[in-house]
Chain A
């Protein structure tokens, strides 16, 4: 007898779930990161909230006043049917390159000259039309001089990319001078990790 009640309850719950699903104005589903890690999303409104912690778990929301419903797992088929186009359109994440310089100069270190050769294939592979080149310095010297040095480092990298046939309108150049260090230091302290140009290929 208990067993029958149990199955009836399960069937009812499923039916209610489907009914709720049909009326939802909004559906949110958590997915694994490209590296397989699982993050968390928190879906909330005036009526309440739900946290999604497991891959393919989804919640629906009927209105701004009604709490998001109990999360349920979405099947691969539902995922494809609902989100196939959006998911297929999600690009791969941008690639970051950090090129280091010899102190006070616009001369690249030998390792960075090596790394530079990987930037063009990365641009070509993802058909990138958006590359930023940002120069940085350590805190040796004045802030104004370092802004200029950062800009000159970025301009050098831009010149190299242009010479390798990257279209000028794809490249954005900027300097953060000494204001955006990787490693925080007191003024006038040399720090090799801060003498850099960061290239982001999007």
Chain B
């Protein structure tokens, strides 16, 4: 029994360390309408205005939904209906030179306005789709991904 609680304690300690690393929000939700959700690990959370967004979150809109994310570096990303985007990586510590933003549109439509990371380290900005990657030199663009199974 003692051993068991020791294992639990160790697991909790580990969990708290990993929580610490992924603790800081990378942005927040804005302009959410209709069905808009955040998938975090196994949880599904309603993407309300002001909800914080974290690295590895999956953002989804339904057929009546739209949402936008304002990232900590001022990058803006919005989704049209029936869309899914993954926040794969976000590092924004200019003082330490740690800069990176990688997002991936899995389906649907998105509009994107690059922020401070694109100004400081353009090569660290990537927008991915299942069939191509997009490199960004300080700008606005829109992208659409069609799911072949539909």
> Which A-chain residue is minimally distant from B83 (CB atoms)?
A86
Decide if B68 is an interface residue (CB 8 Å cutoff): yes
Chain B residue nearest in CB terms to A179:
B95
Residues of chain A with a CB closer than 8 A to B136's CB: 39-42
A90 to B79, CA, bound (A): 8
- Are A170 and B50 also in contact (CB < 8 A) when A42-B135, A85-B66, A89-B67 are? yes
Whether a CB of chain B sits under 8 angstroms from the CB of A143 is: no
Q: In residues 48-77 of chain A, which contact B (Cβ within 8 Å)?
A: 52, 61-64, 68
Q: Which residues of A contact B111 (CB under 8 A)?
A: 31, 83, 86-87, 89-90
Interface size class of B (residues with CB under 8 A): 35 or more
Complexed CA–CA distance, A38 and B80 (Å): 23
B142 lies within 8 A of A83 (CB): yes
Q: Would A41 and B137 count as touching, CB distance under 8 A?
A: yes
**CB pair A85 B80 closer than 8 Å:** yes
Chain B residues whose C-beta falls within 8 Å of the C-beta of A84 in the assembled complex: 80
What are 5 sample pairs from A and B whose C-beta atoms fall under 8 A apart?
Answer: A26-B146, A89-B68, A90-B113, A93-B76, A200-B74
| Chain A interface residues toward B at CB < 8 A | 24-34, 37-45, 52, 61-64, 68, 79, 82-91, 93-94, 127, 129-130, 132, 170, 176, 179-180, 200, 202
